[in-house]
Amino acid sequence: MLAGSVPATSLEVMTTRAARYDAVVTRREQVSPHLVRLTLSVPGLVSTGILDEWVGLVVPGQFQVRYYTVRSLTGDELVVDVVIHEVGLVTEWASGDCVGDRPMVTAPQGSFAPPPEAAWLLLVGDLTAMPAMARVCSSTSLPTRVWAEVPDDLPGYLPEHTDVTWLTPPAEGRSRLAEVVEGIDWPAGEGYFWMAGESSQMRSIRKHLMRARHLPNAAYDVMGYWRAVTSRHPRAVDPGPIWRAGKAAGKSDEQIWAEYDEARGV
C-alpha cells in the first residue's frame, strides 16, 4: 500500500485488484523547481469525469503503487504533475530522463462530489493537490475560494480569475494547513469543502469539520495524499476488518478512513 497515503476508496482497491494499463512516457517538462509534468500515452484509459480523479502509477522495475491526479486525459494522452520531494520511488524516477520508459497505470477513480445544493466551493491543499484544484477551478461555475500551500511560484497554474490565497509551507516537507482551515471565515449557506495534502493535517481537519463545524459527510471530502516522516511510526493495522465493519455499520468512506487513521495512530 501507498506509504502514508490512503485515499478513502483505496481500501476498496486493496480487495479487488485494479485493472492495469501499459503506458509510455512521451514527454517530461519541469513546471517549477518542485513540479514535473509527465505526458503518458495510455491506450484504453478512460476518464471517470470526476474532477479529482487519480490513477495508480507503477514505475518500471517496481511493484509498489503511488497515486497521481489526472491533470488531463485526452484520448490516450494522460498528463500528471509529479511533486519532486526529498526522496521517494516516483520522485527519483521522475527526476531523471524517463521519456520512453514504460510504467503501468491503473484505471482512474475519484471522489469529488459536491451535493446538488452546494452554492460554493472551498478548496485547500498543498502542491500535491494543485492538479486537482486546478482541474476543479477550470471546470466549475460555482464561486470558489482556494488556499494553496506551495513552495514554488506557479504563475498561470490556476485559471486567471481564481480567488486564491497562496501560502508558504513552514519547512520543506511540512504543512500547516490544518491551522489555516481552522481560521477560515466560512461562507454562509450550503457548500462543499475539498482538501488534500499531508495526512496528519487532514486528520485534524476531519475532526474539526465533524466536531466543531458539524458538517454532514456529504458536505466535505478530505484526503491524506502523503505522510510526513516523524519519529513516531504508525502502527501496522489491517484495514480489511475496519472496512468490513464500517460498511456493515453503514458508515461513509470518510468515516471509515478516519477510523483507519485513528487505529494506526497517525
Ligand X SMILES: Cc1cc2nc3c(=O)[nH]c(=O)nc-3n(C[C@H](O)[C@H](O)[C@H](O)COP(=O)(O)OP(=O)(O)OC[C@H]3O[C@@H](n4cnc5c(N)ncnc54)[C@H](O)[C@@H]3O)c2cc1C
φ, ψ for residue 220, nearest 5 deg: -155, 160
Task: Give 120 or 192: the residue with its C-beta nearer to ligand X.
Answer: 192
Give the x/- contact pattern for ligand X in 2-21, rule: CB under 6 A: -xxx-x--------------
Task: Give 114 or 131: the residue with its C-beta nearer to ligand X.
Answer: 131
Footprint of ligand X on 226-245 (CB under 6 A)? 226-229
Give the x/- contact pattern for ligand X in 81-110, rule: CB under 6 A: xxx-x-xxxxx-------------------
Confirm if 151 and 223 have CB atoms less than 8 A apart.
no
Neighbouring residues of 90: CB distance < 8 A, sequence distance ≥ 6: 57, 59, 66, 68, 82
Task: Give 28 or 66: the residue with its C-beta nearer to ligand X.
Answer: 66
Task: Give 227 or 264: the residue with its C-beta nearer to ligand X.
Answer: 227
Is 203 a binding residue for ligand X by CB under 6 A? The answer is no
Confirm if 234 and 204 have CB atoms less than 8 A apart.
no
Give per-residue burial for 113-123: e unless 16+ CB within 10 Å, then b. Answer: ebeeebebbbb
Neighbouring residues of 24: CB distance < 8 A, sequence distance ≥ 6: 40, 41, 100, 101, 102
Note the residues at the interface with ligand X (CB under 6 A): 3-5, 7, 54, 66-69, 80-83, 85, 87-91, 128, 131, 173, 223, 225-229
